[in-house]
C-alpha cells in the first residue's frame, strides 16, 4: 500500500493551523472556513438529529449536506493539489496518514475521510489518524491467527439507571445478532462477557491470558461519558455494578488493562467515542491508543441503529471473510455507508443521511497491524458460510419483541448477578411463551 503522510503542525508565530504533506517542507494553511464548517452545529444536527427528531426539515438538511460536500472539495484541493497524479505510485490503495504532532491540534476535527470519495489512477484512499502512544506498544505488527481461530470479545453493558436513554440509543443486540451465528465456525470465536461488569471483563482477560488464548479484538457496546473534576477532564466508560446501577471506569484504566493482556484492536460502538471537536482528553479512541492499543475503530458522532447494522456487518465481512487489512476494512465500512445512505426516521419515514464519515480509525504512530491466517481445518466454503450467517441483516431475523432491548438485557443481568431463576406470569395470550422461547434462542 502506498502512503501519503499528512503531518499536522502549528506555526510557532501564528495562530493559524497548518500541515505538511510527505517530505514537502512548505506548510499548507487550513482556511478558517474549513474549521468552521467542521465545527458547525448544523452538521451535528444533520448527522445526529435530523432523522430521529426533525425528518421534515429537509431544507436545513440539504444545506448541511452541501456544506459537508464543500468541506470535502476544499480538503481535496489542499491535499491533492500538491501531487502530480502520474507521480503517485500504482497501487490499489493509497493510505492517507494524518499524523498529529500536537496533542491539542484542532486539525484532527477535520473530516479527512471525505478524501476517500476521490480516485487517482484507479487507486482508492484509506484515511487513518496516527498519534504517539504514551505507553510501550508491542513490536509485533503481524498477529498470527492459528488453527484455534480469531477470537472476539464482545462487552455489552447497559446499566439500569441509563434506561431513559434507550429511546434514542442504538440497539445493543445489533452487534450481537451480527456475531452470534459465528459460533458455528471454528475459524472465528465470539465470547460475550456476561454480566456487563468491569470485574467480569478483567476476569475474562485474566483467564484468556492464563490459557494462552489470545483475544484479537475487543468490541465495546457500552456508553461513554466525559467527567470534569475541578480542572481535570476525564473520559470514562459506563459499566454496571452487581445491583444493575452504573459505575464509571476511567478510559485510561481500560486501555492499560487491555494492553497488558495483549489486546491490540478495539471497536468502540459508542456515540462520540472519537469526538474531534473537543479536548483530546474527551476522545475515548485517542486515550486508548495513548495507553498502548494499536488500532481503535470508533464513532465521531452518534450513529443511528439503521446505520450501525451496516457498519458491523461490513466490518466483519471485510476483516474476516475477505481478510482485508484493518485500514482497508475501515474504508470499506465507510464506502458501504456511503452506498447505503437511507436511514429509518421518525414517523416511519426514510431519509438520506451522509453519515458515512462517522466511523473513523485511530492508530499508534509508526506501528502497523496485520493478521496472518494459518490454514484452517475447516474448508473455505464452511468458513464463508459461517461468516455470511454471522453478518445477516435485521431483515433476516425472525419476529421478536420490539423496543425491549434494554429490558431484556436487564433481565439477563438479574439472572446472572442476583438470582438464577425467574417466574413469568400474566394473562393468557400475553406473550409469556413467546418471550421464553425468544430468550432461549
pLDDT tens-place string over residues 399-425: 444 445 555 666 666 666 666 677 777
| Over residues 381-409, mean pLDDT | 43
- The span from the CA of 169 to the CA of 178, in Å, is 18
Q: What does the pLDDT read at residue 291?
A: 94
List, in order of start, the domains of the chain with CATH numbers. Answer: 2-131 (no CATH), 142-396 (3.40.50), 405-440 (no CATH)
* Beta strands 93-100 and 2-10, pairing class: parallel
Q: What does the pLDDT read at residue 426?
A: 77
H helix and E strand count, the chain: 13, 18
Residue-by-residue DSSP string for 132-143? --SS---S--EE
| Over residues 49-67, mean pLDDT | 94
Residue 198: pLDDT over 80: yes
Cell of 365: 504512530
- The span from the CA of 2 to the CA of 92, in Å, is 9
**Three-state DSSP class for 226?**
strand
Confidence band for 209, pLDDT divided at 50, 70 and 90 = very high
Q: Which helix (H) or strand (E) holds 249?
A: strand 246-250
Angle at which helices 251-260 and 198-210 cross, to 10° = 10
- The span from the CA of 354 to the CA of 418, in Å, is 44
User: Phi, psi at residue 84, to the nearest 5°?
Assistant: -90, 115
Residue-by-residue DSSP string for 108-124? GGS-GGGGGG--BTTBE
Mean pLDDT of the chain: 78
Residue 205: pLDDT over 90: yes
Contact 24, 7 (CB under 8 A): no
Percentage of the chain lying above the pLDDT 90 cut: 32
Residue 120: pLDDT over 90: no
Residue 307: pLDDT over 80: yes
Amino acid at each position: 500500500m502506498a502512503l501519503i503522510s499528512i503531518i499536522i503542525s502549528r506555526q510557532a508565530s501564528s495562530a493559524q493551523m497548518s500541515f505538511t504533506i510527505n517530505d514537502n517542507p512548505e506548510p499548507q494553511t487550513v482556511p478558517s472556513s474549513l474549521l468552521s464548517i467542521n465545527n458547525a452545529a448544523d452538521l451535528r444536527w444533520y448527522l445526529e438529529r435530523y432523522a430521529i427528531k426533525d425528518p421534515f426539515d429537509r431544507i436545513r438538511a440539504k444545506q448541511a449536506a452541501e456544506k459537508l460536500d464543500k468541506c470535502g472539495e476544499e480538503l481535496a484541493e489542499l491535499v491533492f493539489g500538491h501531487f502530480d497524479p502520474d507521480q503517485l505510485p500504482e497501487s490499489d490503495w493509497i493510505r492517507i496518514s494524518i499524523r498529529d504532532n500536537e496533542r491539542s491540534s484542532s486539525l484532527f476535527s477535520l473530516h479527512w475521510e471525505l478524501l476517500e470519495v476521490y480516485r487517482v489512477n484507479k487507486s482508492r484512499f484509506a484515511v487513518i489518524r496516527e498519534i504517539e502512544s504514551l505507553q510501550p506498544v508491542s513490536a509485533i505488527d503481524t498477529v498470527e491467527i492459528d488453527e484455534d481461530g480469531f477470537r472476539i470479545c464482545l462487552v455489552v453493558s447497559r446499566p439500569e439507571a441509563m434506561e431513559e436513554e434507550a429511546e434514542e440509543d442504538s440497539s445493543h443486540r445489533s452487534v450481537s445478532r451480527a456475531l452470534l451465528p459465528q459460533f458455528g465456525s471454528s475459524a472465528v470465536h465470539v465470547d460475550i462477557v456476561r454480566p456487563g461488569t468491569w470485574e467480569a471483563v478483567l476476569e475474562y482477560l485474566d483467564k484468556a491470558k492464563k490459557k494462552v488464548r489470545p483475544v484479537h479484538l475487543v468490541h465495546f457496546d457500552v456508553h461513554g461519558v466525559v467527567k470534569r473534576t475541578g480542572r481535570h477532564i476525564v473520559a470514562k466508560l459506563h459499566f454496571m455494578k452487581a445491583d444493575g446501577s452504573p459505575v464509571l471506569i476511567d478510559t485510561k484504566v481500560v486501555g492499560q488493562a487491555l494492553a497488558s493482556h495483549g489486546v491490540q484492536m478495539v471497536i468502540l460502538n459508542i456515540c462520540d467515542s472519537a469526538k474531534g471537536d473537543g479536548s483530546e482528553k474527551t476522545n475515548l479512541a485517542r486515550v486508548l491508543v495513548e495507553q498502548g492499543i494499536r488500532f481503535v475503530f470508533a464513532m465521531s458522532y452518534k450513529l443511528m441503529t439503521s446505520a450501525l447494522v451496516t457498519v458491523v456487518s461490513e466490518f466483519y465481512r471485510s476483516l474476516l471473510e475477505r481478510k482485508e487489512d484493518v485500514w482497508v476494512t475501515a474504508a470499506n465500512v465507510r464506502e458501504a455507508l456511503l452506498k447505503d445512505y437511507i436511514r429509518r426516521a421518525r414517523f416511519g419515514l426514510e431519509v438520506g443521511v451522509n453519515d458515512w464519515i462517522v466511523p473513523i480509525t485511530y492508530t499508534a504512530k509508526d506501528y502497523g497491524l496485520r493478521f496472518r491466517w494459518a490454514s484452517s481445518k475447516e474448508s473455505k466454503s464452511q468458513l464463508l458460510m459461517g461468516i455470511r450467517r454471522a453478518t445477516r441483516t435485521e431483515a433476516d431475523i425472525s419476529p421478536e419483541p420490539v423496543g425491549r432491548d434494554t429490558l431484556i438485557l436487564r433481565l439477563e443481568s438479574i439472572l446472572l448477578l442476583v438470582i438464577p431463576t425467574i417466574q413469568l406470569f400474566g394473562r393468557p395470550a400475553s406473550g409469556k411463551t413467546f418471550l421464553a422461547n425468544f430468550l432461549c434462542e
